[in-house]
Structure 1
Amino acid sequence: MRLAKALVLLALCPMTGMAREIGEVDTAFKWLGPNHKIVVEAFDDPKVEGVTCYLSRAKTGGIKGGLGLAEDRAEASIACRQVGPIRMSEALEDGEVVFKERTSLVFKTMQVVRFFDEPRNTLIYLVYSDRVIEGGPQNAVTAIPVLPWGASR
């Protein structure tokens, strides 16, 4: 019984990422509730100053989507860019989660993890969706070579 109550509380508490919505486009009209759409969000890497990542992902509309009960699709796209001098505030851990957002009521999340390819001096960001029961194979990757700011201009 306590487990059931804990799951309900977890479902009611939104898992918020640090993303800021940049824009959205409607993809399907719904008579009741919001339309299905694709949203574009931006977030800064919390441990790497000078890096911003942009995510595009589907958001389910309709009545369930409007109430936060719908399960969003597992597809997402990511593009990370150097937006200033890159400074790492502490040692980076490969596979560290830098962004996470719930995409269903309880069991599914979309997350971005970071890797550092030291021989090539490149940061790699991978976005994927996972489920408690089974992982989602849909994924996307982006890479940023760590260069002195202004060197590529």
Structure 2
Amino acid sequence: MHLPMKGKRYADVEAIQKACTGILEAIPGNELKHSFDLLLDRCALSVVQTLLGAYAGVTLLVHSTWQSRLKRWLLGALLLGLLGGALCGFSRENGIIPVNKNLWSLSFVFVTVALALLLLSLLYYVIYVRQWCSGYPFTECGMNAIIMYVGHTVMHRMLP
């Protein structure tokens, strides 16, 4: 809908509504329904990914020793990685549910959460357990998350 309206000027809100209505009426009903079904599926899978991320946070709150935290995160990473790999047949384009970022397939969600849990475990071990690194860039970004988001939104075309 954005492309047919790009570059045009409208006198008032009614003209914009009329143009939008005309464009939407030109879309076949089954294609419109299919696009909303894809959006609903993507939202459901993002909820699954969010809940799996909350698992990492709950693990941090509930378990007091670093060994139990790392054990649970690494076990979760292993299980989700194997499950995601089994769903995609351990290849990019084969299997029951191929890994597809554009469609946010279930295998994509499982594999990305497994990689995130692995990275969390590694950084937790390096920063908090062994104290080899102070975690400087990560702590600053974590304490200024809104500034990072706004900065990215404003300057995303200015930086490489």
Establish whether TM, by shorter chain, passes 0.5: no
Q: Which one has the bigger helix percentage?
A: 2
TM bracket, shorter-chain basis: under 0.3
TM-score normalised to structure 2 length: 0.24
Q: Which one has the bigger strand percentage?
A: 1
Between Structure 1 and Structure 2, whose CA radius of gyration is higher?
Answer: 2
